[in-house]
């Protein structure tokens, strides 16, 4: 008998969620992680003594509440902190826009830019609520085809929804609602996060929905941070999985997935250990899983070619810093507006221009930056009186034309600081240490191909029944015994946990239908 019922490759948050659900159902689970810590793109690390930074992912909110409840993550140490204000955006002319939890207060802010937009804003949010009513229930189950989804759509003309939400660009969608360039710029920034697309790229309207599904403390469409950094989430997930009996091993990179008689039967680690199980679950993207960890004849050529075509160009980098004190943002009267996202996204044109440069292999000379000073709401992440700063910076293509990311780190840091300096003139005096995490780093540290933060762009052509590959959306793969649970699968990237949850449900259903006989499992590994 195999030592384990299931082996999970990679201890990112989705791998941990899958492990948690499988272990909770009584399966013997082994999780193998190549790094020294669990969490994948959802970790806290301490690059400088006393400064605990969310190296990759930095804003919490998307994690599905059902997972928090099922795996009792709060009992195991997860503590979300809701941001209020949610966001603050300074503009070159010295004005600013603050997004409060209180929508009426936000309306008053918007009125300073356009009274018409202020009046439209509650209707815009109500429109999103209707959309989210349809989207939220389909996140925690294998996807339905887009056509099917539209057939079931209630609350709005499905053809109009198809056009507005799935086919339009974010810029077109926002032009239909608002006139203020400042407001549209800030809102459009949520449509480009992590995706190699500009706000005028068709399909980006849907990304607004993807980044709007956050629920925290009963609030909808919101973001927060995790106490102790993003690692606070994955540490709790690891504790939950281990509580139910899962074994988690770090420094245990998987070199290859073992295939015998046409099915996955286990793994070999980088150190040459062999582990066997009737179920192998990869939380890695499809290029890593099928083109690197499996022999080329494990699946047919047609499938491999479709894997190669998945778009996972890198789009962003991180600039993380230890600060001596908080910078003074000229447009903010004190730190009270700085505890959420600080977005440098003054207009749709600004964002599109930043993308233009990346299209031709350059780092944006004036990038979009999403800044968080987590230490304001969570002083535990910095030494007393000091602060942290994480900057999500776009656009950063996977490959730079004529140079390499390793050669341009100092210039990248200068560009980020120059950009912030236009809004916080003392930024340079506050920075004690900094690090630049490039798309190449994201790929080499985490194995996310191309440095794409979602294991594949989350535009509609790569979502729902197209994710990860049409015909293979059920978390099963053409190789019997092998499943996928990472954010390459439905519903996609971000710290949602939904892919991990859904994969576990499919595996448990297959295990239950098959009893413990491995032969029966093969029959169930059919495309859906």
Q: Using CB under 6 A, list all residues that contact ligand FAD.
A: 9-15, 32-35, 40-42, 56-59, 62, 253-254, 283-284, 318, 392, 442, 446-448, 453-454, 486-487, 493-495
How many C-beta atoms surround the C-beta of residue 176 within 10 A? 12
**Inter-residue contact 199 to 351 (CB < 8 Å):** yes
User: Backbone phi, then psi, for 284, in 5-degree steps?
Assistant: -85, 165
**Inter-residue contact 300 to 40 (CB < 8 Å):** no
To the nearest whole angstrom, how small is the minimum distance from the Cβ of residue 489 to ligand FAD? 8
The strand pairing partners of 264, in sequence order, are 259
Nearer to ligand FAD, 191 or 284 (CB): 284
**Inter-residue contact 62 to 316 (CB < 8 Å):** no
Distances (CA, A) of 496 to 15, 64, 199, 434, 516: 12, 6, 23, 28, 30
Nearer to ligand FAD, 41 or 382 (CB): 41
How many C-beta atoms surround the C-beta of residue 409 within 10 A? 17
Nearer to ligand FAD, 34 or 386 (CB): 34
Residue 125: DSSP 8-state: H
User: Backbone phi, then psi, for 320, in 5-degree steps?
Assistant: -110, 140
How far apart are alpha carbons 358 and 86 in whole angstroms? 28
Residue 505 token pair: 């449900």
Nearer to ligand FAD, 13 or 161 (CB): 13
Residue 382 token pair: 């910095």
Nearer to ligand FAD, 120 or 221 (CB): 221
How far apart are alpha carbons 378 and 225 in whole angstroms? 9
To the nearest whole angstrom, how small is the minimum distance from the Cβ of residue 9 to ligand FAD? 5
To the nearest whole angstrom, how small is the minimum distance from the Cβ of residue 165 to ligand FAD? 21
User: Backbone phi, then psi, for 166, in 5-degree steps?
Assistant: -100, -25
To the nearest whole angstrom, how small is the minimum distance from the Cβ of residue 492 to ligand FAD? 8
What's the burial of 417, exposed, middle or buried (CB within 10 Å: 0-12/13-18/19+)? Answer: middle
Nearer to ligand FAD, 51 or 153 (CB): 51
Nearer to ligand FAD, 61 or 481 (CB): 61
To the nearest whole angstrom, how small is the minimum distance from the Cβ of residue 35 to ligand FAD? 5
**Inter-residue contact 290 to 482 (CB < 8 Å):** no
To the nearest whole angstrom, how small is the minimum distance from the Cβ of residue 56 to ligand FAD? 4
To the nearest whole angstrom, how small is the minimum distance from the Cβ of residue 494 to ligand FAD? 4
Nearer to ligand FAD, 197 or 254 (CB): 254
Distances (CA, A) of 333 to 87, 132, 372, 424, 506: 14, 34, 17, 12, 51
How far apart are alpha carbons 466 and 447 in whole angstroms? 22
Nearest to 254 by CA among 517, 35, 69: 35
How far apart are alpha carbons 294 and 292 in whole angstroms? 6
Nearest to 111 by CA among 170, 176, 182: 182
Nearer to ligand FAD, 150 or 413 (CB): 413
How far apart are alpha carbons 93 and 331 in whole angstroms? 9
Nearer to ligand FAD, 13 or 244 (CB): 13
Nearer to ligand FAD, 174 or 391 (CB): 391
Which residue's beta carbon is nearest to the bound ligand FAD? 12
How far apart are alpha carbons 200 and 203 in whole angstroms? 9
How far apart are alpha carbons 370 and 264 in whole angstroms? 41
To the nearest whole angstrom, how small is the minimum distance from the Cβ of residue 504 to ligand FAD? 13
To the nearest whole angstrom, how small is the minimum distance from the Cβ of residue 385 to ligand FAD? 26
How far apart are alpha carbons 27 and 22 in whole angstroms? 5
- Residues contacting 331, CB < 8 A, separation 6+: 90, 91, 94, 95, 96, 423
Q: What is the DSSP string of 230-298?
A: THHHHHHHHHHHHHTT-EEESS--EEEEEEETTEEEEEEETTS-EEE-SEEEE-S-HIIIIIISS-TTS
To the nearest whole angstrom, how small is the minimum distance from the Cβ of residue 371 to ligand FAD? 12
To the nearest whole angstrom, how small is the minimum distance from the Cβ of residue 263 to ligand FAD? 20
Nearer to ligand FAD, 283 or 347 (CB): 283
To the nearest whole angstrom, how small is the minimum distance from the Cβ of residue 189 to ligand FAD? 13
Nearer to ligand FAD, 57 or 142 (CB): 57
To the nearest whole angstrom, how small is the minimum distance from the Cβ of residue 38 to ligand FAD? 7
The strand pairing partners of 368, in sequence order, are 394
């Amino acid at each position: 008998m195999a030592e384990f019922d299931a082996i999970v490759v990679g201890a990112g948050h989705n791998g941990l969620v899958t492990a948690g659900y499988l272990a909770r159902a009584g399966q013997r689970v082994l999780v193998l992680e190549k790094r020294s810590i669990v969490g994948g793109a959802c970790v806290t690390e301490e690059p400088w003594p006393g400064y605990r930074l969310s190296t990759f992912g930095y804003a919490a909110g998307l994690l599905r509440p059902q997972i928090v409840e099922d795996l009792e993550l709060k009992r195991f140490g997860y503590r979300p902190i809701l941001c209020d204000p949610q966001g603050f955006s300074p503009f070159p002319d010295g004005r600013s826009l603050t997004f409060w939890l209180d929508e009426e207060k936000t309306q008053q802010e918007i009125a300073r830019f356009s009274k018409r937009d202020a009046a439209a804003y509650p209707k815009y949010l109500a429109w999103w609520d209707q959309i989210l009513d349809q989207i939220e229930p389909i996140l925690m189950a294998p996807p339905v085809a887009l056509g099917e989804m539209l057939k079931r759509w209630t609350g709005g003309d499905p053809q109009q929804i198809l056009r507005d939400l799935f086919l339009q660009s974010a810029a077109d969608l926002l032009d239909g609602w608002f006139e203020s360039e400042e407001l549209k710029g800030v809102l459009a920034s949520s449509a480009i996060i992590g995706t190699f697309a500009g706000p005028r790229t068709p399909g980006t309207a849907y990304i607004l929905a993807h980044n709007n599904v956050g629920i925290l403390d009963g609030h909808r469409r919101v973001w927060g941070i995790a106490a102790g950094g993003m690692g606070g989430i994955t540490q709790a997930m690891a504790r939950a999985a281990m509580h139910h009996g899962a074994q988690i091993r770090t420094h245990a990179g998987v070199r290859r997935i073992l295939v015998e008689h046409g099915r996955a039967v286990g793994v070999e680690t980088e150190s040459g250990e062999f582990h066997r199980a009737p179920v192998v679950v990869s939380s890695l993207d499809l290029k890593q899983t099928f083109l690197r960890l499996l022999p080329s004849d494990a699946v047919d050529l047609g499938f491999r070619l479709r894997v190669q075509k998945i778009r996972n160009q890198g789009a962003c980098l991180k600039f993380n810093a230890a600060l001596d004190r908080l910078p003074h943002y000229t447009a903010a009267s004190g730190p009270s507006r700085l505890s959420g996202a600080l977005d440098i996204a003054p207009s749709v044109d600004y964002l599109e221009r930043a993308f233009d440069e990346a299209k031709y292999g350059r780092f944006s000379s004036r990038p979009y930056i999403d800044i968080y000073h987590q230490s304001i709401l969570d002083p535990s992440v910095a030494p007393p009186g000091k602060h942290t700063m994480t900057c999500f910076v776009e656009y950063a293509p996977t490959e730079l034309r004529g140079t390499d990311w390793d050669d341009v780190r100092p210039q990248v840091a200068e560009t980020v600081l120059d950009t912030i300096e236009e809004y916080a003139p003392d930024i340079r005096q506050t920075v004690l240490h900094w690090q630049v995490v490039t798309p190449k780093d994201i790929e080499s540290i985490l194995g996310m191909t191309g440095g794409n933060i979602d294991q594949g762009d989350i535009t509609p052509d790569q979502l729902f029944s197209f994710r990860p590959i049409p015909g293979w959306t059920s978390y099963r793969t053409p190789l019997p015994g092998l499943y996928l649970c990472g954010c390459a699968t439905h519903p996609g990237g971000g710290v949602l946990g939904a892919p991990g949850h859904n994969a576990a449900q499919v595996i448990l259903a297959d295990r239950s239908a098959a009893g413990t006989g491995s032969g029966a499992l093969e029959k169930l590994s059919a495309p859906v």
